[in-house]
Amino acid sequence: MKLKQIFSLSLIAMLIFMMTACSNSTDETSSKQEEQPKAAEEVKDLILATTTSTQDSGLLDVLIPMFEEESNTNVQPIAVGTGQALEMGKKGEADVLLVHAPDSEQELVDSGDAINRKRVMYNDFILVGPANDPAGIKGMEVGEAFQKLFNDGAVFISRGDDSGTHKKELDIWKSLELTPGDNTSYAETGQGMGNTLQVAAEKQGYVITDRATYLAQKESLDLEILVEGDEDLLNIYHVMQINPEKHDKVFSEGAEKFVDFMINEETQKVIEEFGQEEYGEPLFFPYTE
């Protein structure tokens, strides 16, 4: 066989070997790619602006993990007064709100900043104070009690933070045509409900509070419920999402899912049972529309 023929045959054999090797390598690579799991779905952050009462009561510690598990969402709760939460919504700094100041909430809906507002739950406000009740208001109607506290110059501790509780307190003073600051024993903490209750206990003063936070902290407080059950003391919570058509940076899909989650049957059952075992009564009652 001539040298030229031998060289040609060798070259052909080499090309066949290289093509076979490349084919095997491609098949192995393709097989490995098929075996690799798909990338995990991206977990997005959902900013929830809410009240200190939902945090101080411990309710969020139960509900948020439930929602995160079923929605692949990381909830970032910001617990402030309702006024601050609503302002965050107005600026598009939150995705969803859980608050309790119906009149102010409606203003946010009317302005187009919030949509999909749903009623979630309720409890009530109560007026608590020292066990010896120096002002003698136990059992009075709320307006009568506030008038007596003002007339007696009793120590009254206010949140003073534009929260839903503070708004309710101011509404009561306004209905009586009284300026609470005219009482020299009136003081504002500018803090959440839990801290304000502690200040009231230290100063042996009177304070209006939501029932849930009071029950959650009752063991550390030397304060008793003195006025309750008044129709004007109903405390209703709503959830709503921030309007993506007005605030295009919000996580609209997550916010809508959170609204649906808060009013679904399973969540409402959890709300209904929350606190019963530990406090002997629920801290909130389901109140869906």
How confident is the model at residue 56, as a pLDDT?
86
29 has pLDDT over 70:
no
How confident is the model at residue 40, as a pLDDT?
57
Yes or no: say if 263 and 288 are a contact pair by the CB < 8 Å rule.
yes
Task: Identify the helix (H) or strand (E) that includes residue 115.
Answer: strand 114-129
Yes or no: say if 166 and 158 are a contact pair by the CB < 8 Å rule.
yes
How confident is the model at residue 53, as a pLDDT?
87
How confident is the model at residue 23, as a pLDDT?
47
Alpha carbon distance 238, 86 (integer Å): 12
Q: What is the pLDDT of residues 251-289, one digit of tens each?
A: 999 999 999 999 999 999 999 999 999 888 899 999 765
Q: What is the pLDDT of residues 204-216, one digit of tens each?
A: 999 999 999 999 9
Alpha carbon distance 161, 167 (integer Å): 9
Q: What is the pLDDT of residues 248-261, one digit of tens each?
A: 999 999 999 999 99
Q: What is the pLDDT of residues 71-91, one digit of tens each?
A: 999 999 999 989 999 999 999
Alpha carbon distance 92, 95 (integer Å): 7
Alpha carbon distance 222, 207 (integer Å): 12
Q: How far is CA 178 from the centre of its chain?
A: 33
Q: What is the mean pLDDT of residues 55-65?
A: 93
Q: What residues have CB less than 8 Å from 143, skipping those under 6 apart? A: 172, 175, 176, 232
Alpha carbon distance 143, 127 (integer Å): 11
36 has pLDDT over 60:
no
First-to-last alpha carbon distance for the chain, in angstroms, is: 96
Yes or no: say if 114 and 243 are a contact pair by the CB < 8 Å rule.
yes
166 has pLDDT over 80:
yes
How confident is the model at residue 161, as a pLDDT?
93
| pTM for the structure as a whole | 0.79
